[in-house]
Amino acid sequence: MDQSLIQNTVHFVKSKLEGAEAGHDWFHMERVWKNARLICESENANLEIVELGALLHDVADSKFHDGDETVGPKVAREFLESQNANPETINHVVAIIENISFKGGNFQKTFSSKELDIVQDADRLDAIGAIGIARAFNYGGFKNRALFDPAIEPNLSMTKDEYKNSKSPTLNHFYEKLLLLKDRMNTETGKRVAAQRHEFMQQFLDQFHAEWNGEK
Ligand code: ADP
Ligand code: NI
């Protein structure tokens, strides 16, 4: 594998994400990269594609580009071309970026590969557990959402746009998305780590409701 390509990608992603919102900053990419390498140890996959996909998967998230989902893949392609990466590698990494998102659950995958499965699991692991909780409240704060509102029920049938524009309190995000992730993991390692992180989120939610209700 071309280690200098990985190192150049690290530098590129760090510079692109300078000042990014804390849930989507360089450290998110670094954690996803770590998760992806861990998962890859037990899978028969192309490690270089997995690492590049993990590092570049959120390089220009559509949430921060007026919903434009073509920016991230385009930025990644231009970068990899500037590095003279192998065209097959470029196409595969770009396909991973185009297909990774959960998008409220109503997004049809148009491409599949073991490498996509791994990067998607690695990204999902960073959305659950203690880090997942921190990221959700950080994002909710960024969007000026309530922590919780007992009058607003979780809604599992919103379209992607409705979801983005909704004023749904952050706690609802756990029921609308985060608690669903453990059953959507692709790989055995992903499933194992997700089960433990899910359990921790469940404990957090039980404690949150107990405290909300003035118990203990
Ligand atoms: P990804 O990292 O795959 O791009 P998303 O962009 O869907 O994931 O979300 C990034 C982070 O922001 C995740 O931790 C997610 O839980 C959080 N997030 C997204 N939408 C909401 C929301 N409506 N309320 C709270 N957190 C959210
Ligand atoms: Ni991500």
Residue 139 CB–ligand 1 contact under 6 Å: yes
Which fold is adopted by the domain 3-212? Hypothetical protein af1432 (1.10.3210)
State residue 104's pLDDT score: 37
Report the separation in Å between the CA atom of 183 and the middle of ligand 1, taken as the mean of its atom positions.
Answer: 17
The interface predicted TM-score (ipTM) is: 0.95
Angle at 34 between CA 176 and CA 172, to 5 degrees: 10
State residue 6's pLDDT score: 97
Q: What does the block give as tokens for 93? A: 């990494």
Name the phi and psi angles at 15, rounded to 5.
-70, -35
Residue 133 CB–ligand 1 contact under 6 Å: no
What are the mean pLDDT values of the chain's consecutive 10-residue runs (216 residues total)?
A: 93 93 91 98 98 94 67 93 97 94 56 96 98 96 95 88 86 97 98 98 98 90
State residue 153's pLDDT score: 92
Atom 2 in ligand 1: which residue has the minimum CA distance? Answer: 123
> CA-CA distances (angstroms) from residue 158 to 9, 118, 155, 177, 214?
35, 27, 7, 11, 31
The dihedral over CA atoms of 186, 98, 61, 25, expressed in degrees to the nearest 10, equals: 50
pTM listed for this prediction: 0.92
- Which residue from 119, 173, 198, 205 has its CB within 8 A of the most atoms of ligand 1, so it is best to mutate? 173
State residue 185's pLDDT score: 98
Residue 72 CB–ligand 1 contact under 6 Å: no
Report the separation in Å between the CA atom of 58 and the middle of ligand 2, taken as the mean of its atom positions.
Answer: 5
CA dist., res. 39 & res. 150, Å (int): 38
State residue 9's pLDDT score: 98
Q: Which atom of ligand 1 is nearest to 145's Cα?
A: 24
